[in-house]
Amino acid sequence: MNKKVLIEISARHIHLSQKDLEKLFGKGYRLKKMKMLSQPGEFAAKETLNIQAGSRKILGVRILGPARKETQVELSRTDAIYLKLNPPVRISGDLKKTPGIILISPKKKIKIKRGVIIAQRHIHCQTKEAEKLGLKNGTVVSVRVKGERAITFHNVKIRTNKNFRLYMQVDTDEGNAAGIRIKGKGEII
Amino acid sequence: MNKKVLIEISARHIHLSQKDLEKLFGKGYRLKKMKMLSQPGEFAAKETLNIQAGSRKILGVRILGPARKETQVELSRTDAIYLKLNPPVRISGDLKKTPGIILISPKKKIKIKRGVIIAQRHIHCQTKEAEKLGLKNGTVVSVRVKGERAITFHNVKIRTNKNFRLYMQVDTDEGNAAGIRIKGKGEII
């Protein structure tokens, strides 16, 4: 059985709710597509935001589309430490008791009350492909990465959906720790 | 046999040669000790430098003492990407074909021709203690870290010396990827 998986580094980014998108860019605003991403329908937008916590800012954080149910800011722990925030490690969408942050567009500044997370590393997998690999939604696996900075990531959550494509996603800290440049390869063990 | 090891996160820092120290701070200058470190004799100095590559700067990078044979700047890959540098992953002191950088003190700016590295993860171990653990200088081991972001670091180099104390050192990317805050625990496997 082939259990190889491509690994993508997911840099800091923002998902906006339609409501927050319109607050920041104006009524009826639609994000401009810059690049399609590995998961069908998902794209990196041309638009970026500056984010601010206390006196610290990070400029030019990419917005990903399409709009989500709730605004969510995904940072690396390195980013979080710089911003003096302490967000939990969470699966996307699980935003209970997460810190808020200030979002700044060229037109407007808004404060979200919650939504900052460090993404839990996970593997997107098409439902039937997962079955073939002996995996299902919620299964936790380890993934071994070879090379100079060889690492095994444990606690990697499988997320299945009929539209998903097989990709593991890690943040920049994890990618850098494993010596991965942009894309890497791993093996589910 | 107890193969547990304390893990320290080593943030970006600078080791200066006596010559570069004097260029930056003046003839006969001595670093002021701020804090002793885990390895005997090593200390974090009160002094910091700004570092610059192209138009990008990182401010307030800690100097560690005492002076070394050659100036060396240890960055995380996150830092290196920000500075648009591509330093190799190296054991301390192995500076062949490494990029240079600009070092800026309150008094002076100098350019070093080489010396920027990403530190290879390693374990300092007292020579006799290493023997007891079945390890010797240069042995490569794996270290497992438990927790929410559980990881196994492979390619961890053992470095022995009669004065070393048993500590594993990782950079901030590696520490953050493993969910370690300041200090963590691992097991040599």
d(CA A159, CA A22): 30
Query: Is B151 in Cβ contact with A150 (below 8 Å)?
Result: no
d(CA A144, CA A137): 20
User: Is 90 exceeded by the pLDDT of residue A145?
Assistant: yes
Centre a 10 Å sphere on the Cβ of residue A173 and count the other Cβ atoms it contains: 29
Contact B89/A at CB under 8 A: yes
Contact A148/B at CB under 8 A: yes
pLDDT tens-digit profile of A36-94? 998 889 999 999 999 999 999 999 999 999 999 999 999 999 999 999 999 999 999 99
* Angle, CA A72 vertex, CA A66 and CA A73 arms, to 5°: 110
For B120, the closest chain A residue by CA position comes to A149
Is the N-terminal amide bond of A99 cis, ω within 30° of 0?
A: no
Alpha-carbon A63 to chain mean position: 11
Contact A81/B at CB under 8 A: yes
The pLDDT, as a whole number, for residue B123 is 96
pLDDT tens-digit profile of A88-122? 999 999 999 999 999 999 999 999 999 999 999 99
Is A167 within 8 Å of A124 (Cβ atoms)?
A: yes
pLDDT tens, residue order, chain B (189 aa): 569 999 999 999 999 999 999 999 999 999 999 999 988 899 999 999 999 999 999 999 999 999 999 999 999 999 999 999 999 999 999 999 999 999 999 999 999 999 999 999 999 999 999 999 899 999 999 999 999 999 999 999 999 999 999 999 999 999 999 999 889 999 999
Pairing of strands B183-188, B4-10: antiparallel
Query: Rounded to the nearest 5°, which phi and psi values hold at A168?
Result: -95, 140
The pLDDT, as a whole number, for residue B2 is 60
Pairing of strands B101-104, B43-53: antiparallel
% of chain B exceeding 70 in pLDDT: 99
Q: pTM of the entire structure?
A: 0.94
**Residues in chain B within 8 Å Cβ distance of A121:** 149
d(CA A51, CA B124): 39
Query: Is A78 in Cβ contact with B173 (below 8 Å)?
Result: yes
Query: Is B78 in Cβ contact with A78 (below 8 Å)?
Result: yes
ipTM more than 0.90?
Answer: yes
pLDDT tens-digit profile of B50-92? 999 999 999 999 999 999 999 999 999 999 999 999 999 999 9
Is the N-terminal amide bond of B66 cis, ω within 30° of 0?
A: yes
Query: Is A174 in Cβ contact with B177 (below 8 Å)?
Result: yes
Query: Is B177 in Cβ contact with A151 (below 8 Å)?
Result: yes
Centre a 10 Å sphere on the Cβ of residue A168 and count the other Cβ atoms it contains: 25
d(CA B113, CA B20): 12
The pLDDT, as a whole number, for residue A106 is 95
Q: In Å, how far is A3's CA from the nearest CA of chain B?
A: 19
Mutation site, A9, A122, A145, A149, interface B, largest B CB count within 10 A = A149
Name the nearest CA neighbour of A3 among A156, A164, A187. Answer: A187
Query: Is A89 in Cβ contact with B148 (below 8 Å)?
Result: yes
Residue B106, C-beta contacts closer than 8 angstroms, at least 6 positions apart: none
d(CA B181, CA A141): 24
Query: Is A77 in Cβ contact with B176 (below 8 Å)?
Result: yes
The pLDDT, as a whole number, for residue B115 is 98
**Token pair listed for A153:** 């990531």
